Amino acid sequence: MLLKVSGKSDAPKLASAISHAIYEGKEVFIRAIGAGAVNQTCKAMAIAQGYVGPRGLSLTFRPAFTIIQMDDGEVTGLVFQVFY
């Protein structure tokens, strides 16, 4: 499952989406473009850990750069692969 994050994304809602995807056994990738989006992603990961922790799960992630095609050219973003 690919979750696309912006600087205006709501971190608790993103954390909920991460948690639910994990409960369903899905592979989770989070794509962030820009500093604000990366910030919201990190906050959401911390919140999501609080959601899944009581179920005995521990979250980690692996960040990687990615090139994204936009209407006006290419931009570099980060993709976080979530592990549990």
Query: 11: domain CATH number?
Result: 3.30.110.20
Q: What is the pLDDT of residue 41?
A: 99
What residues make up the domain containing 58?
A: 2-83
User: Structurally, how many domains does the chain consist of?
Assistant: 1
Which residues have CB under 8 Å from 56's CB, separation 6+? none
CA angle 42, 21, 32 (to 5 degrees): 35
Q: What is the pLDDT of residue 10?
A: 99
Q: What is the pLDDT of residue 22?
A: 98
Distance CA 7, CA 20 (A): 22
Quote the pTM value: 0.93
Place of tokens 């290419």: 74
Per-10-residue mean pLDDT, the chain, length 84: 98 99 98 98 98 98 97 97 97
